[in-house]
Chain A
């Protein structure tokens, strides 16, 4: 049972984000806004070759350019680069114009090498090797349970399908980068990061400086989605430039660079065979998958690493199953964690197969899910969602929608952990004037973590959230986790609760006032005299838990004459334990859904197999959903205070693309077997234009 008070005053109410006013007025200082005295601009020279042996980099001319204060090579001596956009050198100068000129003055002696950027090319035995010591595609890792071959023979219906997803780019609105000051006291880095301590340790390790001499500050940052852990090559280069120049250096990547070198979601090529008994009970599952993690793949071990493995058969229980998964290396930037790594991709493959199987069995796809989903929470979410969505009234046999603009509906589900980190620490300071400061070494990546901390402190101390000053994003504060895995709220909330409970206790003991809250607050605080009360707290059991479900329903319209898919409505039913702040929680749900719409319909990194370059490294060619693309989003948050706080950011993104893909298949009566579902693919599936070349399975 949860240790949260039974009667909550602030938790669960709609509290506007505490840093909202600073953000809407432009006063919030993001990493890219930090301008220390005498700051220089840093820029990176990147490889124009997808693969090359770099023999020598001549920096002398660049160093002599007007306004240039430092120039460094990533590595002295010969080396190899393995993708278009890999870092070669960097310069720092008085303006970005000076740096642009200097980058053009750097001469690079290089021998271009053969390369390969398409997965289907890279897996061929005679393909150029991305890593010399290992084949691009190592043998798959095989996991087997039960007797798969015998089980398929026992099935009443079996489907075989192929489902593919592209490489997706993170594209946070604020690019990667930092401003670094390196003086006799050590290194101070203002970093756009999801993990200040990770950046600190990364810089200290790479630059051989004591961790105690590195301070990382992230007051506000413009999104990360999994791609902003660690200092990155750009952070280390900024520090080296700062040292050489003897001045702070601000090095923020351009949008173009953002598409090349700072992470992506691996692609997938999933071959699924799924069989069920006549009553719809899943019985046998066979899965073969590979995807690319760019140069992040290619280890000689089985499976190849790089994060392209999928948790299959995802949320369903299938007694007999065989999984064969591997990764293929290509000459492209490495993958990184991306909002619920593996899950949206697994959800797309598995939920597509489920719908295809339902069609073959002749049963309602929602019924098939209810039959085979072992989660009690999701069972409840299916019921709530179906009623809210009007599933019974809206579901029709695939392709039976009349007219040229066809409507369709689909459903898909999620699972996620989202528990807290038990090593989180924090402190609270109660001042004699009654003001309160909460300090934690975590960062707010846009999920509203500051507000979560303020809400919890206000609840315990009997104050209002706006009376709490929350100080985040500094490695001088007690350590907290990186913002990934939806762990931040379930780490922060129990820690703040612990610190504030102890602080209130001590305040009451010290002042002899039995209940210092409410009207006694200022009297009690005044009794502290001149010394503020500072109390440490740490994460503790009983205030958070882990493991959420989540179900989403989608309704789409597909114009069979233009091929355009329009999402009309998404119904989200999501649990996240105790809902701390419904207002900010809903925002995260909106965000997960909208990013899912992008994954379903628009987003794909396109590479040119002949030149090895990324063809769409900017927003005018890599399309994100805009305001007019957003449907009605109907959100049901299942409040479960007894479970304590659980993270929400990732599960809400997982099933959207799968639900939309199923809705499109339901509208058309034919499955488009790869994301994004573009008008071209729709028209090709309808036989109205020739089929585009699809990757080999």
Chain B
């Protein structure tokens, strides 16, 4: 069997492209349930904030902690199902992924506590937009490293937040719940379908 230079180059291109597709697919499979989960949380918590603002703080607190614990469980389960390229490398070297997700969340929580102590007093809408934009940016950055679909979801989420904040401030929370939350859920479903 003789392989020409052109055939070898073509074969290496095919290998490279199959490798990229598999890696992206594995990342998407890992990220999709988190997007769906947090999309549902945004949907419920923002809608409650719009319709029953008195219950806003308790709903956000309860759902955020429930979401963090569920994300941990998803990470733990995903490690044991071997569905994510980072699962093997990270878990072998540094312990369970669920625990790493918890640490990540504490780091992000610390970031928000620190920045809120620096920023002047924000009203509830500004604080919500700030935190939500952080996550939109996080999804874009994750997408830059893992695959274009994730970046698109992040961009759409960020655009939706900015539109709600500047375009329809009187119904900001309703838009954030029904539209931006649904965008996250649909984004998660879209990633799963790759």
A and B from one complex: no
Interface residues of A (CB under 8 A from B): none
The interface of chain B, by Cβ under 8 A from chain A, is none
